[in-house]
Chains A and B, each alone.
Chain A
Amino acid sequence: MQLAARCQNLQKRYGDVVAVDGLSLEVRSGECFGLLGPNGAGKTTTIEILEGLLAPDGGDVEVLGFRWNAHERELRQRLGIQLQETQFTDKLTVEETLRLFRSFYDRGKSIDELLALVELESKRRSWVVKLSGGQKQRLSIACALAGDPDLLFLDEPTTGLDPQSRRQLWDILARFRAAGGSVLMTTHYMDEAQVLCDRVAIVDHGRVIAEGTPKELIASLGAPKVVVHEGTLEDVFMLLTGRHLRDD
């Protein structure tokens, strides 16, 4: 099986807090893999280790067949990364921001293609500060796609967006995948994971507690537990991670 990313027995602690505790996962080429989990479960830490932004305390990471310490430059050329909370420069336009990011890559789409891909042609000359939340997120995705990546990392890409913007992002992702790209994403939305992800891993306390296709996981709930409505991924999630709040 061809793998886009793989990590084994990943460990990361911040002082006394263990953020990732022996986590292993495999993202297959061409699939969309979802990392689900409550706040503080270790999703962002895991994805940032895979993105080469954080060094793990232990464990093994391989992305597109490369290791970070040996081939950082090649990897960066072939990965698309969207981070939580990136604020692009307020007073640059959409086009200027895209040009900047595009200039870092040796290959990739033209600015016009990127604008069309995320449907921001009409906002081409608008300052970033004037964009809506959904438009900013689409710009962020366009910057991640600037180098025509083989693997796209998305960390909570639709958090805080209105339903229309979410659907628009789903469409962009569908197009990226139709062209053969692999995706590793985190999300809080179970419906989103159910629609977008081929396989998901549910993470809690820094380790994977369940893994499989959304269908498999829902089926694993078993009939007796689902009485009033058809089982959803959300049922699986709540069953496994409990109902108490995780407000960090």
Chain B
Amino acid sequence: MTTEVGVRPHESTHVKGSDPGAGGRGGAHHSLVELTLARLREFVREPEALFWTFFFPIVLSIAMAIAFPSRGARSVRVGIEPGPASSELRDALAASKDIVVRDVAPADQLRALRNGDVHVIILGGSPPTYRFDPAREESRLARLVADEVLKRAGGRADPWKAREDEVEVPGSRYVDWLIPGIIGLSIMNNGIWSIGFMTVQARLRKLLKRLAASPMRKREFLMAPMIARLVFLGPEVSAPLVFGVLAFGMPIRGTIVNITAVVLVGALAFGALGLLMGSRARTFEAASGLMNLTTVPMWVLSGVFFSASNFPDAVQPVIQALPLTALVDGLRGVVLEGATLGSIWTELAILAAWTIVPFALALRFFKWR
């Protein structure tokens, strides 16, 4: 670069001897490499960060798998009034292997229903009374199961009994659907929280100010944590996937290349969002607030634990435009259905937009002091 300044007075007096052999970067790598290495080192030397990255998704998958077992039909829980008056009812219900009977005192009925301790409460009499919340799937199911058992005990004759062909289709069970969701969730959380917090910490320690005083390229400083995140994606994503395959026989129908592509774009998007969250915050509290504001709605809306189609049509365009929705849908597509990248291009495009726009905003509004 040429300069228009005529006076460069110091040039002539520059006599200091730097070892010419040391030239270049004096044994250091390219600045982007050094910045990335610094982030990686900082990360692996922080044991808590490793836990959240690698074990949390597995722990969450195990917990969800226990809570929602996929093998065999789950029994329904029916509450009845304690005491000898209900003994006939109790015997009739207990005869079915699909029903677990629990005694619930009259005062506790509503609480037991609310907590899911029982799905329906049956009060004896002729005819009996079913007390349940029709808005809850499991309550409606319990009512149907109990109703059939009681009517049959009451002497109802079925015109015929269907032959039942029980199948279990790997890939369509809740746990199969859940694991890609949890991977998406962990990519989001690790990206936003680790990058956001490290940035705020560097600002609090006045390290950002010191770096801004050096000739470091600011763009490279912001790119480094995103690249560092990519390095850890391998273990971070494959741990829950391998766990899913070994523990649940989850099928992986897509190619490694396609899965990798989706995961990379997703990690970049959430890395950029993390930078944006941390771009101006001066305290951890302010940063946490922003990050919760960003992530918590997506925990709920993006279909990680239950399908996003439960939300009304009016908000669907918004939900579909969220980065976590795009990542989770894209992952489910490649992992469970073997989708090609061409068939999930909208998801990839949404994630690319969520990478470019937040990164540009972070670079523009970043506070170095």
Contact = CB atoms under 8 A, between A and B. Distances in A.
Interface of A: 2-4, 29-30, 51-53, 64-67, 70-71, 73-74, 76-79, 81, 83, 85-89, 91-92, 96, 99-114, 143, 146-148, 150-151, 179-182
Nearest to B33: A103
Contact of B10 (A85, A104, A108, A151): A151
A130 B19 CA distance: 30
B34 A100 contact: yes
Given A2-B9, A96-B41, A73 B31 contact: no
Contacts, number: 150
14 contacts: A3-B9, A52-B213, A65-B9, A66-B5, A67-B5, A83-B213, A88-B207, A88-B210, A91-B42, A102-B26, A105-B26, A114-B26, A147-B215, A180-B14
A73 B10 contact: no
Point out which of A65, A67, A76 has the most chain B C-beta atoms below 10 A from its C-beta.
Answer: A65
Nearest to A111: B27
Interface of B: 1, 3-5, 7-10, 12-19, 21-23, 25-31, 33-35, 37-38, 41-42, 45-46, 202, 205-207, 209-210, 212-216, 369
Contacts of B23: 107
A99 B27 contact: yes
Contacts of A180: 13-16
B45 to A, nearest CB: 4
Contacts of B215: 73, 76-77, 104-106, 147
Contacts of B26: 102, 105, 108-111, 113-114, 146
B254 to A, nearest CB: 37
A81 to B, nearest CB: 4
A102 B16 contact: no
A77 to B, nearest CB: 5
Contacts of A89: 38, 42, 202, 207
Contacts of B206: 83, 85-87
B76 to A, nearest CB: 53
Contacts of B19: 109-110, 113
A240 B155 CA distance: 109
B10 A83 contact: no
Contacts of A147: 214-215
Nearest to B213: A81
A4 B16 CA distance: 15
B207 A150 contact: no
A96 B17 contact: no
A120 to B, nearest CB: 15
Contacts of B214: 76, 81, 101, 104-105, 143, 147
A102 B5 contact: no
A179 B114 CA distance: 80
A52 B368 CA distance: 13
Contacts of A64: 8-10
Contacts of A76: 213-215
Contacts of A102: 25-28
B38 A51 contact: no
Nearest to A87: B205
B49 to A, nearest CB: 11
B13 to A, nearest CB: 5
A235 B323 CA distance: 66
Nearest to A72: B215
Point out which of B3, B18, B27 has the most chain A C-beta atoms below 10 A from its C-beta.
Answer: B27
Contacts of B45: 91
B75 to A, nearest CB: 51
Nearest to B3: A71
A104 B18 contact: no
Nearest to B15: A180
